[in-house]
Amino acid sequence: MRLCDEVRTTAAATAARATSVRVDPDAVARVQLADADRPQLDPARHYLEGSAADVATYLLTLDTINFGSGWFPTLRKRPNCSGYFTVAWGVADRFRAHGPWSNRELRAMRADEIADALGQNRDHELMALFAQALRQLGSFLGERSALDLVAQAGASAERLAELLASGMAAYADRGFYKRAQIVASDLALAGVARFADLGRLTIFADNLVPHVLRLDGVLVYDQRLAAHIDAERLLRPGPQEREIRACAVNACTAIAARLEISEQELDHLLWTRGGAPSYKAVPRHRCRTIWY
């Protein structure tokens, strides 16, 4: 089964038997999106000014460590930056100062080096996970560049996601493949790759999009789960956080179809909406995982 079909099938099955989360069909029908500008990458907090090859390497490097939301409250953030933007900006500044890490340097990546680049404590456990994921990327690439990998995917975002998910345990987010899918989306947003099938992608199931859907009434959490999250207690990886992500994927397939936009575009609109103060004021679920 193709990757995007696996995600949709898994999400529909998980949502159908979910016991802690349900999708409110009336709220699905009411979702409206402001005419937010088209998805774009912030050019200050992302490295977009280099050659297409270096920007592609930057985004593949960044999306390999585009996780850790369960630890973000413990990260040292840059001013006015969320956890993700702190990481994105830190990697961008490393590329501006020293250029990309070579594949050989990725294979030798240590927690100390990535922690220093991101301005974090060297003994932070997320830095060890980032280093491990980057070492995997260096081994997976071998002597290939990011653009070599894109060429191998033959203008297919789904094929690129499949190459990543089958090539690295760090991308094998079974049933969701959030980071494997977002790589193609980010490469396309940066204009360094073109894909004919971005419409095949699902949303990128993280913790922010479901949070926006919850506050907009689309996802309804049972009382115990809601109380756990509102108390800012960590959610263990497992059935409940998978139900949250699966119901978000499932709901967004329906919302995107109704609004006649792609799930990739819907994801960005909802994710961007999640950056608003009213959404940030309410706790979202925190799960310490390498998937998001």
Ligand X SMILES: Nc1nc2c(c(CN[C@H]3C=C[C@H](O)[C@@H]3O)cn2[C@@H]2O[C@H](COP(=O)(O)O)[C@@H](O)[C@H]2O)c(=O)[nH]1
Positions touching ligand X (CB under 6 A) are 39, 41-42, 66-67, 69, 72, 82-84, 186, 189, 203-204, 206-209, 267-268, 271, 292
| Ordered alpha helix ranges (H), the chain | 3-16, 25-30, 52-64, 83-98, 103-107, 111-118, 125-141, 146-152, 157-167, 178-189, 208-215, 223-230, 239-259, 263-273, 277-280
Q: How far is the CB of 142 from ligand X (least distance, A)?
A: 26
- Nearer of residues 103 and 267 to ligand X, judged by Cβ: 267
- Nearer of residues 189 and 213 to ligand X, judged by Cβ: 189
Q: How far is the CB of 266 from ligand X (least distance, A)?
A: 10
- Nearer of residues 195 and 204 to ligand X, judged by Cβ: 204
Q: How far is the CB of 223 from ligand X (least distance, A)?
A: 25
Q: How far is the CB of 179 from ligand X (least distance, A)?
A: 7
Structural tokens at position 95: 């590329």
Nearest to 220 by CA among 236, 237, 240, 244: 244
Please tell me the distance from the alpha carbon of residue 255 to that of residue 273, in angstroms, as a whole number: 15
- Nearer of residues 186 and 243 to ligand X, judged by Cβ: 186
- Nearer of residues 103 and 218 to ligand X, judged by Cβ: 218
Please tell me the distance from the alpha carbon of residue 58 to that of residue 17, in angstroms, as a whole number: 39
The three-point CA angle 215-220-225 to 5° equals 100
Q: How far is the CB of 104 from ligand X (least distance, A)?
A: 27
Q: Helix or strand or coil: residue 23?
A: strand
